[in-house]
Structure formats: C-alpha cells, structure tokens
Structure 1
Amino acid sequence: MSATNPVVLIDGCSGAGKTSLARSLVARWPLTGRVQLVALDSVYPGWDGLDDGVDLAREQILVPHARGLIGVWQRWDWDAGAPAEAHAVDPSLPLVVEGAGILTPVTARLSDVRVWVDSPASSRKARALQRDGDAYRPHWERWARQEDRHITRDQPSRLATHVFAVP
C-alpha cells in the first residue's frame, strides 16, 4: 500500500458514529483527488449477516485493492432481501471502509489506518433508533449479539491505530 491509495477501516458498534466519522474524513481528505467510501450497511446480507458482510468486503474489496486489482461488490437491497447493483472499487484511489465488524486480524493487515469508535450502549441505541426508527428496533438485540461476538473474537480496539470515544 502506498501513500496515494491508503486504506482506512472504521469499526464500532451500531450508532457509535462510524458513518459520521467516515463522511467527515472523506470531506477533509488531506490528499488531492477522489476518495472511495464503502459503508458495510450496503454490503451486509441481512440482519444476520455481520460476519458474511465482512467476509464479502475482505474478498471483494480489500484483497483486490491490496493487489492493485479492481474490486467489485454488490449492494444488498434490504427491502428485496437480495443482492442489487454492482459497484467497482478502483485500486489506484484511497479507500475508506466503515462498518461494524470490519476490523479483524485479517483485515488489519490489508489496511493502513484502523479506527475503533467506542460509545456507551445507551447512547448508541438512542442514536441508531433515532436514525433508523422502527425498521431497526426489532433487530437491535439480534445485531448487538453479532457485534459482541466480533468484539470478543477479534478485539478490534486492540487492532486499531486510533480509538475515538464518543459520548
């Protein structure tokens, strides 16, 4: 990886502030040119798909980018419950990938900057439900269990180069 096409991974539990941080980073990117942003919310294959979404991101986005190849991933259509249109990732451009579960021992080796966003569960839940409302409410606990497994198994905060606490 080089300074012209670095890879930034932003992980944290739902509602922690990953998307806001990623958008702010892209808007203030210090290098000239375009920056690619992939949100795993567009990749996870359904409410039980945290690990599968991370696997897809690794195989279809991060590994090709690291090898200098164009990566292609498909957006998950949450309403249809099926894959939708394809998107390409240019290996010559910087890449920011944000989403719960993205920071693992394997993905850490495919990145230059690794961020863990930490926030109390009560604050995260309030933000997430305000953002997504009744569509997310019945799935909060189900998704949180997958995040908990990821944190126990992968210890993303230990893999991070930067840790941000969000109240």
Structure 2
Amino acid sequence: MDQFASRLLRLSPSCGPVRLVGVDGHAGSGKSTFAARLARAMGGAPVLRLDDIASHDELFEWTDRLLTQVITPFSRGESARYAPYDWHARAFGPPVPLPPSPVVLVEGVGAGRRALRPFLALLLWMDLPREQSWARGRARDGEEQREFWDTWVRAERKHFADDPSEPFADWLVRQCGEGYEVRSGPAGTGETDHFLTLSDGPSPMW
C-alpha cells in the first residue's frame, strides 16, 4: 500500500495545489474501506466522503454544492469548508474545514462524474459488479434500511446511465482477501497485463 501511496504523491496537482483522487464504484463495493486504508498509507490524507455532501433530497444532485464548498476554494489554494449532512437528523450540520493537503481522497458514488473529472488527478473504480455490491450494502445496513436501498438503487441506476464513471477510470481496484489487486482501467496507461497487490504488510510488487 505504501508504494501505491507514493505513486499518488508523485502525480501533478489537479485542483490548485491539491491532487484530488476519486474513489468511485457502486454502493457497497468497498470504497470507504479502501479509501481509509489508502489514506492511512499516506500518513492520514484527508478523505472527503460524498455521503457528507449528498442528502435524502439530493442523492446525486449535489454537484453545485461540492464545486462551491470544496473545488473552488481548493483551486485558489484555500481551505474548503463544507457542511456535512446528518442522515439521521436529515439536516446539514455546521461547516467544517478541509485544508488543501497534497492529496485529498474523494470517496463515494459519483466521485468520477463528468463535472468533477477535470479536477481529478486520478480516478479509481472499485471493480465489483453492481448487483453484488448492492447485496453487500443491503446486508450491511439491515432490514431497517430496505426502503432507502430500494430508492437508492433506482437513483444509482439512473445516475450511472446518464453519467457513467467506470469508462473514465484510470485504475480498477478489486479486493483480494486481505489486500487489493489494481489494474489499468479504461482511461489508464494500457498496462493491462500489470497487477499490483495492495496490503498493509510488506511492500507490494509490480
């Protein structure tokens, strides 16, 4: 994991001084876990969770909010300030700061959407089929969230039909046991025969 983190730090800044790295994929595909492990490998890089930007009323219609609260300040080299959404209270909380760190991970469904791609240094896609991802998510959240998941699945289908991310991914990430396998994505370098296994143990091998 450390080697992959070092690779990200060598990328050119993409949004002011920040290297924004998108971690996209279907709900339940493991984005949050992977982003957290990658952030730790970079010494605690900030992770912007799109669950904090979206809301019940705007599952995917949050682009303007993200651009205004995060992207525009970063592009000026300033700290962002965004108001995280509380999914239990159904309300946005007080603004919190997000400094323009060398790498900021943007994690969530839609992180690779059309409006954000010009600001990304790299786009990662969690390579797990949608039905399998949704099944994992439903199992994780339990029966009490069944109605929400029914609504979410319809919204996610529509979002990716209108604005797909996977075709623009630089790397595809697949969980393999305790680690991850990464291979070049549709928008990557074409090195489709090279694999990187990421783990928290010894340095990975190309």
Q: TM-score, normalised by structure 1?
A: 0.85
Aligned to 1:16: 29
* Secondary structure of 2:115 counterpart: helix
* Deviation at residue 77 of structure 1 after TM alignment: 1.3
Larger Rg: 2
Does residue 1:142 correspond to 2:151, yes or no?
yes
Distance across 2 between alignment mates of 1:49 and 1:43:
9
**Cα-Cα RMSD:** 2.2
Distance across 2 between alignment mates of 1:102 and 1:39:
9
**CA-to-partner distance for each residue in 1:6-44, whole Å, 9 max, x for gaps?**
111111111011111101110112xxx541111112221
Aligned to 1:162: 171
Answer 1 or 2: which has greater helix percent: 1
**CA-to-partner distance for each residue in 1:117-147, whole Å, 9 max, x for gaps?**
1322342123212322234211112111221
* Secondary structure of 2:48 counterpart: strand
Q: TM-score, normalised by structure 2?
A: 0.70
* Secondary structure of 2:84 counterpart: strand
Moved more, 64-73 or 126-135: 126-135
Aligned to 1:52: 61
Aligned to 1:107: 116
Query: Relative to structure 1, is the Cα distance of residues 121 and 159 closer, same or farther in structure 2, using a 3 angstrom cutoff?
Result: closer
Identity %: 27
Does residue 1:5 correspond to 2:18, yes or no?
yes
Counterpart amino acid of residue 18 in structure 2: N
Moved over 3 A (4+): none
* Secondary structure of 2:83 counterpart: strand
Check the 8 A contact 1:7/1:95 in 2, yes or no: yes
Residue of 140, 165, 172 corresponding to 1:131: 140
* Secondary structure of 1:149 counterpart: helix
Q: What runs of 5+ residues in structure 2 fail to find an aligned partner?
A: 1-11, 177-206
Aligned to 1:35: 45
Check the 8 A contact 2:24/2:31 in 1, yes or no: yes
**CA-to-partner distance for each residue in 1:99-118, whole Å, 9 max, x for gaps?**
11121122011110111113
Aligned to 2:128: 119
* Secondary structure of 2:97 counterpart: strand
Counterpart amino acid of residue 27 in structure 1: R
Counterpart amino acid of residue 145 in structure 1: R
Provide the aligned length of Structure 1 versus Structure 2. 163
Query: Relative to structure 1, is the Cα distance of residues 110 and 75 closer, same or farther in structure 2, using a 3 angstrom cutoff?
Result: same
